[in-house]
Each structure stands twice: as C-alpha cells, then as structure tokens.
C-alpha cells in the first residue's frame, strides 16, 4: 500500500481506528483519496485512547482536519496479509 506509513504497534494491541487526511484530487473530476497518517489504540484501563501520528500532511491545501475511521473487515485482512 503506497502512501501509507507503517504505524508502530502499541504493545500487542491492535488499532481500533486509523487516522487519515483527505488528499485532494489533482485531475479534474478525480476523486479525493484518504492517506493514512496514524492509528488509534485503546488504553489498557479502558478509560481513553491514544492517537499515534506517524506523519503530518504538508500539502498546502490541507485544512487541518484529520479523519478517524474504524477498520473494516476487508481492510483488516489486507493488513494481516502484509
């Protein structure tokens, strides 16, 4: 998977979500794409979450928003295959 940095694993925990930013399409009519920049892990105590950010966008069009999405089953299978 290109443009997706490998997120360091917080212990043996699996991420409960991933962090992305939307990269605007360069071509006219093209779709924006999500670029993964980190992961989210639950605290062991269950009273919070830790956001590990591997990269911050330097795109001049970046508006400062970071999107958190839970992994879907299809994506999780692809991650384990790597």
Digit-coded pLDDT (tens) for 39-59: 999 988 888 999 999 998 888
Q: Phi then psi for 59, rounded to 5 degrees?
A: -60, 130
Asked if pLDDT for residue 82 goes beyond 60, the answer is no
Strands, E assignment, the chain: 17-23, 33-42, 49-53, 67-69
Percent composition of the chain: helix, strand, coil (DSSP 3-state, to 5): 10, 30, 60
pTM of the model: 0.66
Across the chain, which distance is largest between two alpha carbons, in Å? Answer: 48
Average pLDDT, the chain: 77
Q: What percent of the chain has pLDDT over 90?
A: 28
Q: Is the torsion defined by CA of 58, 63, 69, 75 positive or negative?
A: negative
Given the structure tokens 């590990």, which residue do they identify? 52
């Amino acid at each position: 998977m290109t443009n997706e940095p490998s997120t360091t694993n917080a212990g043996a925990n699996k991420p409960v979500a991933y962090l992305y930013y939307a990269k605007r399409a360069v071509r006219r009519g093209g779709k924006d794409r999500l670029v993964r920049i980190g992961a989210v892990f639950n605290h062991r105590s269950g009273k919070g979450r830790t956001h590990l950010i591997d990269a911050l966008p330097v795109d001049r069009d970046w508006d400062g928003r970071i999107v958190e999405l839970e992994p879907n089953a299809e994506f999780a299978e692809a991650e384990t295959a790597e």
